[in-house]
Amino acid sequence: MTDPSRSGTPALDDEVADAAAVATRAAALDAQTLIRGRRQWPLPKQADPNAPLLVVEHLTTRFKMAGGSIKAVDDVSFTLNDGEALGIAGESGCGKTTTALSLVRLLPANGRIGKDSSVRLFGIDLARKSEDALRRYRWREISIIFQGAMNALNPVRRVNEQIAEPVELRLKVNKADAMKRAGELLELVGIPARRGQAYPHELSGGMRQRAMIAMALACDPAVVIGDEPTTALDVMVQAQILELLERLRRELGLSLILITHDLSVIAETCDRVMVMYAGKVAEEGAVSVIFRTPRHPYTQKLIGAFPNIHADRRTLDVIPGSPPDLREPPPGCRFHPRCPFAMAVCSVEVPPEVTFADGVRVACHLYPAGSDGAPITRPTKDAIAGGVAEAGLGAGVFSDRDEAFDELEDALDPAPSHTLSPGHGLTDDHSLDQIQ
């Protein structure tokens, strides 16, 4: 791909960029007609048929607590195109699930979406909709595969009734036809239709998760959100469920948002990945790019924290500390207290999100706007020390300093080094192939 920021004349840059944009746009429209053409039910009335599938801008979600309010999601923007799978990654409590649930405002009673937030599905802004109007989009257009299907399915109702319920209600299909569709959906996810008579407790964990997936597909939704769909399952079943999701994506052209802290799942299943930290986007872009050359120190650490069965045995990276208390988030970059590269500016200024030529968006002072996507400053040990000292951090982080510096050296090295090899976090050859 041409890198406009590195080539000669600015005029030429623009032309190249325009041409690329037109080509991408055309390709996107093709996928769009292809996938939207498969819909069995018409688009919502107010939908703009040419609008992108899902555009989320400046999404902010606050929870009112006893001691004030916390921003669980802070100014998050992203796009999901037709047939695309976007992975949202990050530690527990970094706002992944809240981001996804905010799309259809499926929040606890104390949760509120900010005034500037917009969630445009086919160009319809769901954030502006009243609760009653939004209800019609829930499950019909955006459905959710919840984690832990044991608890997400009602224990006292038969599985097929639960799958048929949204079909009957949202699609206005009569009860008998809805039950028939429930049976078909169960077959689609590999459960014999007659097993739909069972109650959730009578199914195995993997079957329940399949039933949950069948339920999510019930209304042929535009977007399916997978909220840690494989978390509570054992490894073999996890693999089966992921395979099922991939097959469904291929066959149904699903547009998927997959939330997980398991990067190997994202590497296997997703086209793009969005790494979140403390309610903000740290880095977002194509899986193939981000897993090969993670820019944000948090992404690097996250990938480094995954074992690689193909590489030599090594001590896994750990990220010292834990995500900040969102009631009092650290000033500046929220990651700076844990960041081995923290500079003076990091504790003062919130890093802006900058999109680079390879389509990756990063919010980190190491990669300011106008840079070419490589860290511009090579911070000295003193600068790091200064930054760390200014952040008011203790000795625990200092001891990490030399190591951190070495790592930075590696990161700045043009040749891919072991710490940044794409093998991190991947569990098999298949996934390696996929991202290489």
What is the three-state SS of 221-248?
Answer: CCEEEEECCCCCCCHHHHHHHHHHHHHH
User: Of 198-257, which residues contact another protein (CB under 8 A)?
Assistant: 199, 201-202, 215
**Identity of the residue, 94 or 215, whose beta carbon is nearer to another protein in the bound complex:** 215
Please give the distance of CA 16 from its chain centroid, rounded to a whole number: 30
152 near another protein, rule: CB under 8 A: yes
Kindly state the tokens that stand for 242: 């992921």
Judged by CB under 8 A, which stretch of 140-148, 258-266, 268-276, 384-392 contacts another protein?
140-148
Identify the residue among 36, 71, 138, 338 touching another protein (CB under 8 A).
138
Per-residue x/- mask for another protein, residues 328 to 357, rule CB under 8 A? ------------------------------
Nearest CA-CA partner of 162 in 173, 172, 152 = 152
Is the CB of residue 147 less than 8 Å from the CB of residue 153? no
Stretch that binds another protein, among 133-141, 173-181, 371-379, 382-390 (CB under 8 A): 133-141
Distance of CA 363 to the CA centre of its chain: 16
Q: Choose the binding region for another protein from 37-45, 143-151, 267-275, 297-305 (rule: CB under 8 A).
A: 143-151
| Smallest distance from another protein to CB 199, Å | 4
Nearer to another protein, 256 or 302 (CB): 256
Among 25, 64, 128, 136, binds another protein (CB under 8 A): 136
CB nearer to another protein: give 23 or 133: 133
Question: Half-sphere exposure of residue 342, counting CA atoms within 13 Å on the CB side?
Answer: 30
Distance CA 184, CA 101 (A): 27
Q: How far is the CB of 248 from another protein (least distance, A)?
A: 18
Measured CA distances, 166 to 149, 172, 221, 307 (Å): 17, 9, 11, 41
Alpha carbons 28 and 284: distance in angstroms, whole number: 19
Residue 26 vs 65, nearer CB to another protein:
65
- Asked whether 168 and 178 are in contact (CB, 8 A), the reply is yes
Contacts of 318 (CB under 8 A, 6+ apart): 305
CA dist 411 and 131 (Å) reads: 47
Work out which of 71, 170, 208, 336 binds another protein, going by CB under 8 A: 170
- Pick one of 7, 46, 151, 322: the residue that binds another protein (CB under 8 A): 151
Instruction: Decide whether 93 or 148 has the Cβ nearer to another protein.
Output: 148
Let me know how long the chain is: 436
Q: Measuring CA to CA, which residue among 384, 360, 356 is closest to residue 371?
A: 356
Q: How far is the CB of 269 from another protein (least distance, A)?
A: 21
Complex with another protein: residue 50 or 154, whichever CB lies closer:
154
Q: How many residues bind another protein (CB under 8 A)?
A: 27
Buried b (16+ CB within 10 A) or exposed e, 313-351: eeeebebeeebbebeebbebbbbbbbbbbbbbbbbeebb
User: Of these, 78, 146, 298, 356, which contacts another protein (CB under 8 A)?
Assistant: 146
Binds another protein by CB under 8 A, chosen from 153, 364, 366, 426: 153
**Which residue type occupies 12?**
L
Contacts with another protein, 73-112, as mask; x by CB under 8 A: -------------------------------x-x------
Stretch that binds another protein, among 65-73, 119-127, 196-204, 404-412 (CB under 8 A): 196-204
Binding site for another protein (CB under 8 A): 104, 106, 135-140, 143-144, 146, 148, 151-157, 165-166, 169-170, 199, 201-202, 215
